[in-house]
Structure 1
Amino acid sequence: MDFQLTEQQIAIDEGVRKVCAGFDDAYWTECEEKARFPHEYYQAMAEGGWLGITMPEELGGSGLGVSDAAVMMHAATSSNGGYSAASAIHINMFGPHAIVVHGTPEQKARWLVPLIKGEQKACFGVTEPDAGLDTTSIKTFAARTNAGYRVKGRKMWTSTGQVADKILLLTRTTPKKECKRPTDGMTLFYTDLDRTKVEVRRIHKMGRNAVDSNAVFIDDLFVPDEDRIGEEGQGFKYILDSLNPERILVASEAIGVGRDALRRAATYARERVVFGRPIGQNQGIQHPLAESWTYLESAYWMVLRAGWLYDNGRPCGAEANAAKFLAGRAAFDAATRAVMTHGGMGYAREYQVERLFRESILTRIAPVTEQLILSFLAERVLDLPKSY
C-alpha cells in the first residue's frame, strides 16, 4: 500500500494552487456579495488546461482519473475560493462522463472540445421539485416527433443555469407506470439551453452565491435526434456512470472547504492575544481544532481510496458514499469551530470563515443526503432490509 500522492498528483496540486493564487479573498468576497459568476477564475482554469483533466486526450483533455480530479478540486476549494471555486467548474469533472462513455465520436468532438477550452458552459438538469432524490419519479417529458423531441417540465437546483450554454437533461420518454422497471423509460440529452423555451429563475440561497442555483421551467423545447446520448430509454443507466465520481469529487471539495477554514482558525489562534497570551495556547482552542484535523485527514484518505477503486474499475459505491458522508461532516465541524475560534470576528465577513461556514452545510445535503447514504450502506454493506 502506498499512502502518498503520486508525483503527478503533487504536480496537479501545485499547478492548481498557482492558478488559484491569483484570486484572493477580496475577489471571492466581491463575487459572493454581487452574486457574480467568477468568469475570470473560470477562464484561468481553462487556460491552464484544468477543465479537461478527465476528458479524452484526443479531444484536448488530459485523460486522467477521478483520483487526479479529486486532488485538483481539493486544491481549488482550499485556496480561498471555497465551494464557489468548486461549483464553477466541477460539472466538467463528472457531468459529461455519459458523453465520454456513450456519445458518438461526432458528439464528443462537438460537445466536449468547447467545454475543455472554456468556450461553453454547461448545467445539469436532473433534480425536480416533486421528485428530489427519487430520480425515477421525474416528470419532465420528451415527446417523440419526426425530427426529434419536444420537452416540457421543471428542474430544480440547476447550478450555473444563468451562464450556461448547454444543458445535460434527463427526461422521461415513457411514463413510469408503463415501464417494467422504474428505472426504464428515461432518456438523456445534451442540448442548447434555448432561453426562448426555457426560463431559468435564480434561487436566493444561504451561501455559494457566486455560482447560481436555479429553478428551470421548460416549455416545448425542441431537441434534435443528434442531441440524444445513447439509446432512448437508457438515460438512468447512463446517469449512474456519473454518480460515484460526483460523490468522490464533492467529498474532496468539502475537505478543501474544511481545511481552509481550519487553516484560518489556526492562524487567528496564533495571532490573537487575550489576557497576555495567544488564544491558541489554550487547550480549549487547541483540542477542537486538532480534532477537526484528524477527521479531515481521515476523510481525505477515504476519498483517495474511493477514487483509486473507481479508476481501477472496482466497485466503489460504499467507499464513495462513505467519503462524501465523512467529508461533509468533517467540513461542517471544521468551519463551525473556525467561526467559534474567531469569536465575534467569526461573525464578520472580513475573516472569511463565516462564508466557509455558510458553504459547509451544503456539503452535508448535496448531492445526496446523509440519511440516504446511511440507508445505502446499511443495505449494501450490512445486508439489512431496504428501508425506503
Structure 2
Amino acid sequence: MDFRLSDEQKLMIEAARKVGDRFGLEYWRKQDAAKAFPKEFWSAVCEAGLCGAALPAEVGGAGLGMFELALVVETLASCGGGATVGQLFMINPIFGGVALSRFGTPAMKAELLPKIVSGEINCSMALTEPDAGTNTLELRSYAEAVGDGWRLNGRKIWITGVPDAAKMLVVARTKKLADCKSRSDGLSMFMIDVERKGLTHTAIDKVGTRTLASSSVFFDDVRIAPGELVGTLHRGWHELLDVLNTERIVTTAALAGTGELAIKLAVKYGNERKVFGDKPVTSYQGLQFPLAQCHVEVEAARLLNHKAAVNCDMGLPYGSEANAAKLLAAQAVSRATERAMQTMGGMGYATEFHVERLWRDCRLFRFAPVSEEMILNYVANHDLGMPRSY
C-alpha cells in the first residue's frame, strides 16, 4: 500500500490551500455571526475547479475520484471553514453531482452538471422527515402518479441550504407501503426546482453550522415532471445509499480538517501563553497529552476515510469504512475542539479566537448525517454478524 501522493494530488491540495487561505478564520467568523451563506468562498472553490474534482471531465469536472475530493475538503476545512465545508460539498458535488452523474438522465447531466461544477447553481437534498428521522424507510412523503408525472405531498425537516439552492433532490414514496414487497421497495428520487408552486420552507434556528440554513420543507401538491425522475422508479433505495456513502466521505474529510485546525489553534495559543513563571502552558503534560491524544485520533479517522475513498474509486465495497471513519472522526473532533477550548481557558470561549465556532459546528456530526448509534448498529449487523436489534 503506497501512501505517497501523486503530483496531481499535490496540486489539488495546493489549489485548495490557496483558496482556503484567502478565506481564513476571520471570514468564517463574520459569516457565522451574520448567518450568511459563504457565496464568495464557494465561488472561489468552483473557479479553482475544486467542486468538480470527482465529477466527469465531459461536464467540466476534473475526472478524478473521491480520494482527491477528500483531500480538497480536508484542506479547505483546515484553513478556517471547519466542518461546515463538508456540508457545502455534500449539497453540491454529492447530492447534486454524484446523484446525477450516476443516476441522472443524459438530459439532466448535460443541463445541470456543468452548472453545479461552475457554481452557477446550488443544490439541496430533502430526505429527513419529522416522524421518520434516521429510520428513512418510514418516510411518508408521497409522489402520486398523475398523468405522465407525479404530484408530491409531504414534509421534510433539517434540510440544508434550501434558501440558496436552485435544485432539490427529493426522496419520496411512489408506492404506498401496503403495496410494497418490502420497506425498501417503492422509494424514488427526483430533482426538482426549489422555486416551484406548492413548495415552501421555513428556517430552523440552531446553535451551529449557521452559514448554511436548515429548513423545514413543505410539499403541497407539487407537480413533478417525468424528466425529473433520478434513477429507477420505485427502486431508489439502493441508489440513494450509494449517494449517502459518498456523503460520509466528505463529512469525515471536513471533520479531519476541523480537528487539525482546532489542535493547531490550541498549540499556537498555548505555546505563547505563560501563567506560572516563564514556561508556556503547553510545556505541562496535563495539556500536552490530551492534545497529542486528539491528534492521534484525528489522524486515525483521516486514514480510515482515505481507505473508504480509495475503495470507492476502485469500485470496491466501502460502506463499512466510510461509516466507521465518520464515527471516529465525529467523536475525535468533538474531543479535539473541547480540549482546544480547555487549553485556551477563558479565551477559548471568545468568538475572536474561533475555536468556539469549530466546537459548535462539529457537534452536529455526532448525530448527523447518521447518528453514532446507527453506525454501531450497522457495524454490529453487517461487519460482525450480530442479530438486528431494532
Instruction: Tell me which interval the TM-score lies in, with the shorter structure as reference length.
Output: over 0.9
Name the % identity: 38
Q: Is the 8 A contact 1:69 1:93 kept in 2?
A: no
SS of the counterpart of 2:346? Answer: helix
Matches within 5 A, 1:362-377: 362-377=364-379
In structure 1, the residue matched to 2:187 is 186
Residue 116 (structure 1) aligned with residue 117 (structure 2): yes
Q: Is the 8 A contact 1:258 1:360 kept in 2?
A: no
Question: What's the CA shift for 1:151?
Answer: 0.8
Distance in 2, matches of 1:252 and 1:89, equals 10
Cα-Cα RMSD: 1.2
Amino acid at match of 2:293: E
Matches within 5 A, 1:6-17: 6-17=6-17
Question: What's the CA shift for 1:195?
Answer: 4.7
Amino acid at match of 1:307: A
Matches within 5 A, 1:43-62: 43-62=43-62
Matches within 5 A, 1:67-216: 67-95=67-95, 96-216=97-217
In structure 2, the residue matched to 1:290 is 292
SS of the counterpart of 1:156? Answer: strand
SS of the counterpart of 1:253? Answer: helix
In structure 1, the residue matched to 2:305 is 303
1:225-256 per-position Cα deviation (integer Å, ceiling 9, x unaligned): 01111332122122111122111221111111
In structure 2, the residue matched to 1:379 is 381
SS of the counterpart of 1:338? Answer: helix
Q: Is the 8 A contact 1:123 1:166 kept in 2?
A: yes
Distance in 1, matches of 2:388 and 2:375, equals 12
Residues 195, 201 of structure 1: alpha-carbon distance in 2 compared, 3 angstrom cutoff: farther
Question: What's the CA shift for 1:24?
Answer: 2.3
Amino acid at match of 1:45: V
In structure 2, the residue matched to 1:321 is 323
Distance in 2, matches of 1:268 and 1:25, equals 15
Distance in 1, matches of 2:88 and 2:181, equals 38
Q: Which moved more, 1:147-156 or 1:1-10?
A: 1-10
Question: What's the CA shift for 1:383?
Answer: 0.9
Distance in 1, matches of 2:283 and 2:106, equals 60
In structure 2, the residue matched to 1:335 is 337
Amino acid at match of 2:371: T
Amino acid at match of 2:331: R
Q: Is the 8 A contact 1:248 1:320 kept in 2?
A: yes
Question: What's the CA shift for 1:196?
Answer: 3.7
1:320-368 per-position Cα deviation (integer Å, ceiling 9, x unaligned): 1111111111111100000000001111111000111111211211111
1:16-71 per-position Cα deviation (integer Å, ceiling 9, x unaligned): 01011111222111110111101111111111111111111111111111111111
Q: Is the 8 A contact 2:86 2:250 kept in 1?
A: no
Distance in 1, matches of 2:88 and 2:319, equals 25
In structure 2, the residue matched to 1:261 is 262
SS of the counterpart of 1:291? Answer: helix
Residues 109, 122 of structure 1: alpha-carbon distance in 2 compared, 3 angstrom cutoff: same
In structure 2, the residue matched to 1:25 is 25
Question: What's the CA shift for 1:100?
Answer: 1.1
Distance in 1, matches of 2:363 and 2:280, equals 29
Distance in 1, matches of 2:274 and 2:45, equals 39
What is the aligned length?
A: 388
Q: Which moved more, 1:346-355 or 1:311-320?
A: 311-320
Q: Which moved more, 1:335-344 or 1:83-92?
A: 83-92
Q: Is the 8 A contact 2:89 2:250 kept in 1?
A: no
In structure 1, the residue matched to 2:346 is 344
Q: Which moved more, 1:142-151 or 1:157-166?
A: 142-151
SS of the counterpart of 2:82? Answer: helix
1:89-142 per-position Cα deviation (integer Å, ceiling 9, x unaligned): 332232132321222211101121111111111101111111111111111111
SS of the counterpart of 1:52? Answer: coil
Unaligned runs of 5+ in 1: none
Amino acid at match of 1:286: Q
Distance in 2, matches of 1:247 and 1:175, equals 29
SS of the counterpart of 1:67? Answer: helix
In structure 2, the residue matched to 1:223 is 224
Residues 231, 306 of structure 1: alpha-carbon distance in 2 compared, 3 angstrom cutoff: closer
Q: Which moved more, 1:96-105 or 1:33-42?
A: 96-105
1:245-285 per-position Cα deviation (integer Å, ceiling 9, x unaligned): 11122111111111110000010011111122210111111
Amino acid at match of 2:359: F
Q: Is the 8 A contact 2:91 2:160 kept in 1?
A: no
Distance in 2, matches of 1:358 and 1:290, equals 22
Question: What's the CA shift for 1:175?
Answer: 1.0
Residue 2 (structure 1) aligned with residue 2 (structure 2): yes
SS of the counterpart of 1:88? Answer: helix
Distance in 2, matches of 1:202 and 1:273, equals 44
SS of the counterpart of 2:124? Answer: strand
SS of the counterpart of 1:385? Answer: coil
